[in-house]
Amino acid sequence: MRIFFTIVLGTGLATILTGSENAVPANIDDGFRLKGSNASSNVLEYHIPDFELRTIEENGKILTRPVIPHSGSLVMPGEPDLPSTTTFYAVEPGISYSLQVTIIASEMVDDVDIIHFRTWDNEFEGTVNKSSVYDSADPFPGSIATISETMVMRDLHLVSVTVTPFQYHPATDQLEIITEAEIELIETGTESAAFVPPRRSRAFEPFYRSLVVNYEALDRDMIDYQRPSILYVLPNNIGSLFGTIEVLMDWKRRVGYEVNYISSSNVVNNTNNLKNYIEDAYETWDNPPVYVTIVADAEGSYDVPTWYENWSGYNGEGDHPYSTLEGNDLLPEVLIGRMSFDSQSHLQTVVSKTLNYESTPYMGENWFERACLVGDPSSSGISCIITKENIREMMELYGFEDVRTVYSGSFASQMQSNLSDGLAFFNYRGYYGVSGFGSSNINGTTNGFMLPIATVITCGTGSFGNGEALSEAFIRAGTASNPKGAVACVGTATLGTHTMFNNVVDMGFYYGTLVEGISSVGGALMAGKLWLSKSYPTNPNDYVSIFSHWNSLMGDASLQMWTAYPEQLNVVHPYAITVGTNFIDVSIINSSGNPVQDAWTTIYRDDDILESGYTNEEGFVRLAVPSVETGEVLVTVTKVNHYPYQSSLQIYDPGVSVNVYSDIILIDDDDSGASSGNGDGIVNSGETVELSVALSNYGSVDAVNILASLLSSNSNVSVTSSTLSYGNIASEEIVSGSEPFVFTVADGLEDGTTLGLSLFITDDDGYNAAGQIDLHVSGNRIFASDVDVFGSTQDVLTPGESSTVHIELHNDGSTAAMGITGTITCASSAIEITDNTGTWNVIPVGGTGSSSSTGDGFEISALEDVIPGAVAHLIVALTTQDGYSSSSIVPVQIGIPTVADPVGPDSYGYYIYDSGDIEYLLAPNYNWVEIDGRYGGDGDYLSSLSDGGNNGDDVETIDLPFTFRFYGQSYDEISICSNGWVSLGETNMASFRNYPVPGAGGPFPMIAGFWDDLKLTNGGRVYTWYDSNNKQFIIQWSRVRTYQNSSTETFQIMLRDPDYYLTPTNDGEILIQYMDFNNTSNGSYSWNQIHGNYCTVGIEDHTMTVGLQYTFNNGYHDAAMELDDETAILITTRGSDIRLHGDLNMDNSLNIFDILILIDFILQEGQEINPFLADINSDGMVNILDMVGLVQIVMGYN
């Protein structure tokens, strides 16, 4: 028999999510962060995440297992069962690394007997004996940190770094807990480097951002991105059906993709041969495939085989191995999908759906913001519903107007009916058999071209290797002219799937789509798979491998998904240009007349023209025209959630047509003749350049007396010799100028600055034309990347003290930066700068440099009363000797918070003060306001909340008596849950499993007073009451009980009216009081698991990305005291810069006028006042004692 309970609690700074079965975290905090902020930093800081020492009674012995939620493990059967956490770090290709670990802080626990690890197999019933480790005098593990072999994901080489923050000493029965460490990656030599494409893919940036700990420090701004590229894999017998798929390929080319296909039998009929072909394309093509779409079934008349895994006993099918081309890992290099068909009709239908969905979506009604979420809890549990509720709130947050949910009743008929109405997304989570829904229901739908993306992630829906899977039925349903079902579908192979992994992939798909902004359906599925790697980094029992393999996409991997009603584009471009014209200008505005930025604009013609570019902030893009052939050119503009613009222009021969001959453009900056420069043949700032340009007559008629004038649209370029005569130019003749044009470039231009050169050409007969000369400046681009506070190992300013600060710069330009000087300023009143100037030595291209190298840094003082943990931002203005200047911002922390300080601030500005912050005026005093009518209170009993436990969770939305502002948003309603939390606004979620905040898994926004699985039994109730005298609305959970241990909890959340309790941001304050606090839900992890994680206390905003966590899983923030009976916390945006107590007219002084206002209020003859400012003695009431206290202050008696 095993009994679980907890004796020791973690005190880690960071928090992470458990490997839950019903939510995916917005951020998995694994304890790692990069020290510094530049790409050359090889040092990671590690702070142990929240943990617990879980004790187990086994055969009369008390054993201990350390537990970190959402962790993995490196131990083998028989070894001490210790958890580990993992992160990914981007490394230099071809370099091998080892680790050097410095333990900064640790603590020792005595009399601990660590349980030994048995097995990952829950069905294993044998005996696993302890290993010899238990007989050793050495600690286990010998090293707390390990590093993996190099892995590859497209253009990044990665290593995983794993830390086991515990060392067991079996000889002395002691456990050392490493709470803080520094891990340095040391270069140890060279190794074979995997291939990296010379140009990067934009489609992979969101994945890197969420996975790689040093992503923000990588230099990704000036990357040369490739043109998006698709490889279609066709069956070798495609034959006469090729014309059907060619229509889709032509569309993809029109919108700017490079498109290729392969159908050779010796390639496509064998999995290994096909993978080798994809890998060869990836490594050798100028624009390697980003998307690979197989257009075939895995068996039948038109087939391309799939892979079958051997990790499980199910041998499930899947196409994932086609995407893993480099490295021995699960990380993808391409995004994979399959347009499955088994007949000509199927292919025509699938192509028609895809083409119409992207190019001419049905606009008759707004199905683009409509979704149906189905959760059947009958076999897989309530987590299916909670997952759907989380996705529903995410969808509503990102603009979906009609999100329908199905949790009971006739599932099949409701699903068919909702599909027939037309949806953007259809999402099912449940059990094998899809609650009675099958292909007959899909074929019975009548949605036409209102086609959803379907995700049906449960047993057997993606078993496409033998017979028609449900995911195939979704995309094949209907006909080309009368489609049904879906345009794409994700399904899962085999009957062996598990709820926890299914839910993670499901949540990851929609988080990637909505929050991370991944626009392709192939990318969305990959996001779900990457959430598996993030949630289960040690790949337990190969489950990450298995579920990455089993989940497959039916549909075009490159399909661009709709998540909002398409906005119209108004596009201006020429409809005709003369042959030889080498550019066109395109301008785009929306229906409101505002410029449209980042619109992907393409001109295309078979074989000779494919040029694309993104519009700038002014909605403008200039595209090169490389062809000198006449004829029609297609013009297409696309942007996420914008209706595609499709038009054309004509290239024609007007007779005479002279323009720039781009192959002969010469730069002379050699200090001879009129030029002045360094002679490198590249335009640099401050140079005078002689520019020779050849012209060609692309027309059919000879040109007479051609003149050409050079102009620049850049005010920093001065053309001194601007007009040349080229004489007569015969048809198809190329002529160089008799002398060069001359222009001068101003000092200090940033690297990459466009010179804006154009050549205007005329002849004697009135001909005129313009040609573009595309030249850029080679120069500096430097910015501040890090701050070094001298004498502080953590680079933190000490309040009340002066510090020498050095600032590190990074040169992202193409020339070395020399003679660098800089000044710093700061908008924060918490900072005083006494020496604001500094200098740097030469910083090479791509390099970094610190002001410490010159010894000429800065002097900064942090004011005494700054709350420790606050962050100020230094504005760094830089100049170089060639006149270049820039301005950038770096953060610097002030002070290290202790338990005597408030928690915070978060990025919005909220702090959490507790009753132990006695040195702060805002520290709350516990002052219980009983509102339970059974104990003399005046509150209203929320009888609608009747949670009896065991999936009985309830939530109720009611009106607020005043408008409450929270994270800048105003709310008139509040949703109150039986499980100890409230959400501003309306929600149907009743989340009982608690997780860290901010993050997914609960409603958003959220105020978690005591978020745990609670039950309203044995007299437990929830009450509300508006205290009109003190202008606060109170919600009280009275004598409720925890589900696991039936511990009694009584606490209240008090919302203060922001019109009376003033804050710098006008957001409302929240006071949470605990009369009876018993944090006992440690969880049970035997066969019938009970979710643990104790309780969560904190807040998060409406985006799930900003918030403050006070406690989770019984781990507290460093500045948080442990909660107990009769304690309180105050959540507010007021920091140390607060208004004076007693300053009732808020004129920043205390005088007789404040006394008169208080007297009038007490006598009920005056206007309403801020009760916080009037409560002079901080007893929670405004009365005659406060008037006496204010008189004493004004008269100077105290």
Q: Answer for the pair 1144, 1170: CB distance below 8 angstroms, yes or no.
A: yes
From 628, 652, 676, the end of a domain falls on 652
pLDDT above 60 (res 743) = yes
Query: In this structure, are 1092 and 1188 located in the same domain?
Result: no
Is residue 281 within 8 Å of 231, Cβ to Cβ? Answer: yes
What domain range includes position 1000? 911-1132
- Confidence grade of residue 1140 (pLDDT, cut at 50, 70, 90): low
Q: Are residues 980 and 1128 in the same domain?
A: yes
pLDDT of residue 1149: 60
Top-confidence residue, 261 or 1179: 261
With a cut of 50, say whether residue 5 has pLDDT above it: no
Q: Could you tell me if 645 and 664 lie in one domain? A: no
Mean pLDDT for the chain overall = 89
Residue 488 lies in a domain: yes
Q: Per the domain annotation, does 1170 fall within a domain? A: yes
Q: List, for residues 612-632, the tens digit of each pLDDT value.
A: 999 999 999 999 999 889 999
1191 within a domain of the structure (yes/no): yes
133's CB contacts (< 8 A; 6+ apart) are 78, 79, 80, 140, 170
Helix 344-359 vs helix 242-254: angle between axes, to the nearest 10 degrees? 10
Residue 126: its pLDDT value, please?
63
Closest CA to 814 of 890, 749, 743: 749
On whether both 667 and 645 belong to a single domain, the answer is no
Q: What is the pLDDT, as a whole number, of residue 946? A: 86
Residue 220 located in a structural domain: no
CA distance 1178 to 1136: 17
Residues 489 and 398 both lie in one domain: yes
**pTM of model > 0.85:** no
Q: For residue range 60-77, what is the model confidence (pLDDT) as tens digits?
A: 889 999 988 656 677 778
- Nearest Cα to 338, choosing from 524, 527, 550, 555? 555
Of 4-13, 353-362, 938-947, 1124-1133, the range with the lowest mean pLDDT is: 4-13
Residues 1031 and 1076 in one domain: yes
Total of domains in the chain: 7
Residue bearing the bigger pLDDT, 87 or 2: 87
Same domain, 752 and 678: yes
Q: Helices (H) and strands (E) in the chain — how many of each?
A: 16, 66
* pLDDT tier at 13, thresholds 50, 70, 90: very low
515: CATH = 3.40.50.1460
Q: Flag whether pLDDT at 1126 surpasses 80.
A: yes
- 8 A C-beta contact, residue 102 and residue 181: yes
Q: What whole-number distance in Å separates Cα of residue 459 and Cα of residue 442?
A: 18
Asked whether residue 772 is domain-assigned, the answer is: no
Contacts 24+ apart (CB under 8 A), 272-278: 274/233, 274/304, 274/305, 274/322, 275/321, 275/322, 275/325, 278/231, 278/322, 278/325, 278/334
Measured CA distances, 576 to 46, 579, 595, 699, 889 (Å): 61, 10, 23, 15, 47
Cα(801)–Cα(556) distance, integer angstroms: 61
Which one, of 578, 627, 569, lies nearest residue 603 by Cα? 627
Helix axes 543-550, 521-535, angle to 10 degrees: 170
- DSSP code of residue 421: H
Same domain, 643 and 668: no
Region of poorest pLDDT, from 12-16, 935-939, 941-945:
12-16
Contact 535, 517 (CB under 8 A): no
Q: Are residues 93 and 179 in the same domain?
A: yes
924 vs 28: which has the higher pLDDT: 924
DSSP string, 1078-1121: ------B-SSS-B-----EEEEE-TTSS-EEEEEETTEE-TTPP
CATH number, residue 590: 2.60.40.10
User: Is it the case that residue 493 has pLDDT exceeding 60?
Assistant: yes
Report the alpha-carbon distance of residue 139 to residue 167 in Å, rounded: 6
Give percent above pLDDT 90 in the chain: 63
In a domain, 217, yes or no: no
- Cβ atoms 1038, 1050 nearer than 8 A: yes
The predicted-structure confidence for 1168-1198, as pLDDT tens digits, reads as follows 666 666 777 767 678 888 888 888 777 665 4
- Token readout for 1171 is 């009760």
Q: Tell me, what's the pLDDT at 1180?
A: 67
Least confident of 693-707, 899-913, 1024-1038, 1085-1099: 1085-1099
Q: Does residue 341 lie within any of the structural domains?
A: no
Do 10 and 62 have their domain in common?
yes
Q: What is the pLDDT of residues 97-112, one digit of tens each?
A: 999 999 988 889 999 9
Amino acid in the structure at residue 959: D
pLDDT number for residue 299: 95
The β-bridge relationship of strands 570-572 and 583-589 is: antiparallel
Domain finish residue from 843, 866, 894: 894
Distance CA(1080)–CA(1014), nearest Å, equals 11
Supply 494's token pair: 């085999």
Tens digit of pLDDT for each residue in 314-373? 999 999 999 999 988 889 999 999 999 999 999 999 999 999 999 999 999 999 999 999
Between 280-289, 461-470, 912-921, the lowest mean confidence (pLDDT) is in 912-921
pLDDT at 1057: 96
**C-alpha torsion sign, points 1139, 1143, 1146, 1149:** negative
Q: How many CB atoms lie within 10 A of CB 890?
A: 20
- pLDDT greater than 80 at residue 17: no
- 222-256 pLDDT, tens per residue? 577 999 999 999 999 999 999 999 999 999 999 99
Express as a percent the part of the chain with pLDDT over 70: 92
Q: Tell which of 173, 195, 217 closes a domain.
A: 195
Residue 1042 shares a structural domain with residue 1181: no
**Are 1093 and 962 members of one domain?**
yes
**Position 19 pLDDT exceeds 60:** no
DSSP-based three-state secondary structure for 57: strand
In 462-617, the DSSP E strands lie at 488-492, 551-554, 570-572, 576-578, 583-589, 600-605, 609-614
In a domain, 316, yes or no: no
